[in-house]
Amino acid sequence: MHAVLLQELKKHINLTAAEEELITASFRYKKVRKSQFLVQPPDIALYEHFVVSGCLMEYYLDDNGTQHTLIFAPEKWWTTDLHSFLKKEESRYYIEALEDTELLIITREALDNLLKEVPLLNNYFRILYQNAIMGLEERLLNVLSSKVEERYLRFLKKYPQLENRLPQYLIASYLGVTPEFFSRVKSRIHR
């Protein structure tokens, strides 16, 4: 179980056996069913979540009750409401399981300690955050400059494993359009 996490970390940094043990000891295992919430406003986001199997999503519910997907987190992705997790303030984003999901979770305190004991992990997280920034910048520009067709094609590239695991209305919420309009876009593409 923790092996998946260690594999992932080792893609970017080297770890001694002692460090691996520290890491393993710091993350706890959690299993949730489809439709369960891991973060639900106004609860404070207590954990950073690493997905071992299954899939999570992070989304925002606006004043009209419309759901806006920030990110899908399938296997080997991280997710949390970063603002809430770091500042211990009320969360504004929901994190929900889209499938039965196995997770490794770590609290803010455990993470701070771990970063002190295994300083190289700072590098891993720096890289993780840098990648998140690049992904968000690209996503923002997509929304600002591309039509829905093109955004959909980019979604397929970014999450090739998800196309058939998600209901269409969730893909629509990620693309930033209504399910109705997305349905029309798809039928337009297939011709």
Partner DNA sequence: CGGTCTCTTGACGGAGTTCAAAGCTAGTGG
Partner DNA sequence: CCACTAGCTTTGAACTCCGTCAAGAGACCG
Interacting residues toward DNA by CB under 7 A? 64, 66, 147-148, 167-169, 176-187
156 binds, among its own copies, DNA, none (CB under 5 to 8 A by kind): none
122 is an interface residue for its own copies by CB under 8 A: yes
Considering the rule CB under 8 A, would residue 179 count as an interface residue with its own copies?
no
For 27, residues 6+ apart whose C-beta sits below 8 A from its C-beta are: 2, 5, 50, 104, 105, 106, 110
The binder of 180, among its own copies, DNA, none, by C-beta within 5 to 8 A per type, is DNA
**CB 183 → DNA: shortest distance, Å?**
3
Binding of its own copies by 151 (CB under 8 A): no
The amino acid at 145: S
Rounded to whole angstroms, the Cα distance separating 13 from 5 reads 12
Looking from the CA of 126 toward its CB, the CA atoms found within 13 Å total 7
Nearest-angstrom CA–CA distance, 18 and 123: 18
Choose the contact partner of 184 out of DNA, its own copies, none; CB within 5 to 8 A by kind.
DNA
Total residues in contact with its own copies, by rule CB under 8 A: 28
**C-alpha to C-alpha distance for 152 and 83, rounded to whole angstroms:** 28
Contact status: 129 vs its own copies (CB under 8 A)? yes
User: Which of 56, 49, 41 lies closest to 97, judged by CA?
Assistant: 56
In the structure, how many helices (H) and strands (E) does the chain have?
8, 8
The one of DNA, its own copies, none whose footprint includes residue 82, by CB under 5 to 8 A per kind, is its own copies
The site for its own copies (CB under 8 A) is made up of: 60, 62, 66, 68, 70, 82-83, 86, 119, 122-123, 125-126, 129-130, 132-134, 136-137, 139-141, 143-146, 176
